[in-house]
Amino acid sequence: MTKSNNRRSSNWYGKMDKDGFIHRSWMKSQGLPDHVFDGRPIIGICNTWSELTPCNAGLRKLAEGVKRGVWEAGGVPLEFPVMSLGETQMKPTAMLFRNLLSMDVEESIRAYGIDGVVLLGGCDKTTPGQLMGAASVDLPTIVVSSGPMLNGKYKGQDIGSGTDVWRFSEEVRAGDMTLKEFMAAETGMSRSSGVCMTMGTASTMASLVEGMGLSLPTNATLPAVDARRMTLAHLSGKRIVEMVEEELSLSKILTKESFQNAITLNSAIGGSTNSVIHLLAIAGRSEIELNLEDFEKAEDIPLLVNCMPSGKYLMEDFCYAGGIPAVMDQIKNFIRPANTILNKDITHYFDEAEILNEDVIRTIDKPLKHSAGLKVLRGNLAPNGAIIKPAAASEDLLKHEGEAYVFEDIEDLKENIDRPDLPVTKDTVLVLKGCGPKGYPGMPEVGNMPIPKVLVEQGVRDMVRISDARMSGTAFGTIVLHVAPEAHAGGPISIVKTGDRIQVDAKNGLLELLVTEEEINERLKSRKQPKENYSRGYAKLYVETVMQADKGADLDFLVGKDTRLPNRESH
Q: Specify the pairing of strand 399-407 against strand 429-432.
A: parallel
Q: Closest Cα partner for 58 from 227, 213, 236, 240?
A: 227
496 binds ligand FES (CB under 6 A): no
85 binds ligand FES (CB under 6 A): no
Q: Specify the pairing of strand 399-407 against strand 501-505.
A: antiparallel
Rounded least distance, CB 233 to ligand FES, Å: 18
Q: In this chain, which of 79, 87, 294, 500 binds ligand FES, going by CB under 6 A?
A: 87
Q: Closest Cα partner for 311 from 245, 362, 350?
A: 362
316 binds ligand FES (CB under 6 A): no
8: three-class secondary structure by DSSP: coil
Phi, psi of 511 (to 5 degrees): -140, 105
195 binds ligand FES (CB under 6 A): yes
**Which positions from 159 through 178 interact with ligand FES, judged by CB under 6 A?**
161
**Which positions from 99 through 138 interact with ligand FES, judged by CB under 6 A?**
123-124
Rounded least distance, CB 562 to ligand FES, Å: 30
55 binds ligand FES (CB under 6 A): yes
Asked if 79 and 43 count as a contact pair (C-beta separation under 8 A), the reply is no
In this structure, the number of other CB atoms found within 10 A of the CB of residue 54 comes to: 19
Rounded least distance, CB 55 to ligand FES, Å: 3
Span from 196-204, 372-380, 484-492, 513-521 in contact with ligand FES (CB under 6 A): 196-204
3-state helix, strand, coil in the chain (%, to 5): 40, 15, 50
Q: Which residues pair with 307 in a beta bridge?
A: 313
Q: Closest Cα partner for 187 from 212, 210, 206, 168?
A: 168
Q: Closest Cα partner for 480 from 393, 381, 387, 382?
A: 387
83 binds ligand FES (CB under 6 A): no
Identify which of residues 53 and 428 has a Cβ nearer to ligand FES in the complex: 53
Asked if 470 and 481 count as a contact pair (C-beta separation under 8 A), the reply is yes
Rounded least distance, CB 86 to ligand FES, Å: 7
**b/e sequence 516-527, b meaning 16+ C-beta within 10 Å:** eeeebeebeeee
Span from 35-43, 194-202, 268-276, 373-381 in contact with ligand FES (CB under 6 A): 194-202
Identify which of residues 161 and 330 has a Cβ nearer to ligand FES in the complex: 161
* Dist. CA 181–CA 104, nearest whole Å: 42
Identify which of residues 147 and 402 has a Cβ nearer to ligand FES in the complex: 147
Rounded least distance, CB 87 to ligand FES, Å: 4
Identify which of residues 50 and 286 has a Cβ nearer to ligand FES in the complex: 50
Identify which of residues 203 and 218 has a Cβ nearer to ligand FES in the complex: 203
Q: In this chain, which of 152, 200, 271, 485 binds ligand FES, going by CB under 6 A?
A: 200
Q: In this chain, which of 196, 280, 308, 432 binds ligand FES, going by CB under 6 A?
A: 196
Count, residues near ligand FES per rule CB under 6 A? 10
Q: Specify the pairing of strand 116-121 against strand 141-145.
A: parallel
88 binds ligand FES (CB under 6 A): yes
Rounded least distance, CB 200 to ligand FES, Å: 5
Asked if 213 and 348 count as a contact pair (C-beta separation under 8 A), the reply is no
**Interacting residues toward ligand FES by CB under 6 A:** 55, 87-88, 123-124, 161, 195-196, 200, 202
